[in-house]
Amino acid sequence: MTTISPKHLYDILLDDFGPQHWWPIDKQYHQDQKSDPRFEIMIGAILTQNTAWTNVEKALHNLKKQKALTIHAIMHTEEESLKIMIQPSGFFNQKAGRLKLFSAYIHKEYQDDLQKFFSRNTAEIRTELRSLKGIGPETADSILLYAGNHPVFVVDSYTKRICQRLPFEVINDSYDDIQHFFDHELQCIVPKKELVSTYQEFHALLVELAKRYCWKKNPSCNRCGLTNLCEKLL
């Protein structure tokens, strides 16, 4: 069977969809609030668990409207009020508690200094993030890649679905195996200084591919540009 390399897929998707410029942040808000935009990514990564990004956008909008998208504000906002603001993201009881714990942790251990938090070894930060309540591998890696600019490949359910359908040489669909596969393949050919931007763009492109054509049980192969490469059709 013909196989496809991750870099080949990346090039095709970038060509088809163009740069996705993920992760979106509201720079103006953070300029006005004198807050760290990386915190918006960290909060977004927690809010996006088990929900669509459109719902997260509504929750972030509510937080911004109440000027509550800073470490200090989340720590000092009543949990009940926080729940109302983030309600659109679903699981708001659970997520409000997680946001408060997370903010309190960054405040206590790093005095709100995200530069200090991210200026360490990738594995060390990942282990620390994973030890916090409600932070799984995908959330930790999203925070590392998009807020911390650490070269970590993010695996989500979209990536898993695409790996099942495209002829990659990865057999297992465990988080670690898929991540290891992409890491290994990309680190061999992508120059080190381009690794973070490639990972950031690649994850966003895979999400776009899934959302446009490939997520559904019956994918829209007739509209997808990958039909020639796709295992399903070989």
Minimum CB distance to ligand SF4 smaller for 23 or for 202: 202
* Least distance to ligand SF4, CB of residue 216, Å: 9
Token couple for 73: 């504000």
Minimum CB distance to ligand SF4 smaller for 131 or for 220: 220
* Least distance to ligand SF4, CB of residue 16, Å: 11
* Least distance to ligand SF4, CB of residue 153, Å: 19
Separation of alpha carbons 102 and 104, rounded Å = 5
Minimum CB distance to ligand SF4 smaller for 193 or for 217: 217
Binding site for ligand SF4 (CB under 6 A): 165-166, 213-214, 219-221, 224, 226-227, 230, 232
Minimum CB distance to ligand SF4 smaller for 99 or for 206: 206
Angle at 99 between CA 198 and CA 160, to 5 degrees: 40
Q: Is 213 left (phi over 0), alpha (psi -120 to 50) or beta?
A: alpha
Minimum CB distance to ligand SF4 smaller for 27 or for 211: 211
* Least distance to ligand SF4, CB of residue 23, Å: 24
Residue pair 209/201 in contact by the 8 Å Cβ criterion: no
Separation of alpha carbons 30 and 213, rounded Å = 35
Separation of alpha carbons 153 and 17, rounded Å = 20
Separation of alpha carbons 63 and 59, rounded Å = 6
Candidates 27, 13, 47, 3; CA nearest to 224 is 13
Minimum CB distance to ligand SF4 smaller for 81 or for 220: 220
Q: What are phi and psi of 46, to 5 degrees?
A: -80, -40
Residue pair 224/206 in contact by the 8 Å Cβ criterion: no
Minimum CB distance to ligand SF4 smaller for 59 or for 214: 214
* Least distance to ligand SF4, CB of residue 78, Å: 45
Residue pair 204/210 in contact by the 8 Å Cβ criterion: no
Token couple for 31: 């300029």
